[in-house]
Amino acid sequence: MKKDNLIIIVLLALLIQTNVCLQANAGLDESKMKSSQIAEGMSVNKPEFDTEKFSKIYKKITKDGVVMQAMELMRTVNIAQYSYNALMGNNLTEKPFKIEFKNLTEINPEYSSFDALGWKKKGRLYIYINEKHRNAPSEAIAALLAHEAIHQDEFASLNEETYAWTLEAATWLKLTEKNPSVRNNPSSLVSRENMLVKLFEKGDYTNRYIKKAVYTNPGYNKLPTRSPGFEDEDL
């Protein structure tokens, strides 16, 4: 029953994501969009990963092997396919995202505890991952990117964050089925992903408890309920 529920939420997710792609929102030239909060991690890029090989595929997105490895993990699981394609260029800007690790305090000291920051500049979407997570497991980076790829304009909402958190949890759950030992990694980014999965499982693989966490998050207390592509009141 739980697996059936997971399949249902995936199908609903894809339907909602299709709706997002149909929203032609212009966006500001330079505008901070969304972020989530987390601290540092411990783990390294797998030594067998061929960064040079994959740099040809992801050269428009990143120069970082850790990000390339996370992208490859996303590519292998159906639940993350929309986010993967969005990062590759199938998004509202019709251009690939730019992704890099960054000291977020260089942008604003208030961003020091954010785990990632979405930005739009000159019609291009950027994801800045807190450099504290550079050594987090690639599975955790992949789950985080699945979330951040949903944010493609400056219109944030509680519905959108609920969806992004749920997708992040589902991606982490799927990736760790193949590598369960990564759930025990001491990275604080892994702690976040494990927390999201607990909420996901507690809600019987629905967004019930994730939604409660989003709606009570003080960082989101000024967000509207809906935004373009996420108008459904019952999301």
pLDDT digits (tens, 9 = 90+) for 169-207: 999 999 999 899 999 999 999 999 999 999 999 999 999
Neighbour order of strands in the sheet with 124-130:
30-37, 114-121, 124-130, 98-102
* pLDDT bucket at 39, cuts 50 / 70 / 90: very low
Spatial CA neighbour of 58 closest among 171, 150, 168, 145: 145
Q: At what angle do helices 138-148 and 158-178 cross, to 10 degrees?
A: 150
- The pLDDT mean for the chain works out to 84
Structural contact between residues 165 and 147, judged by C-beta atoms closer than 8 angstroms: yes
Q: What is the pTM assigned to this prediction?
A: 0.82
pLDDT at position 12: 46
pLDDT over 60 at 106, yes or no = yes
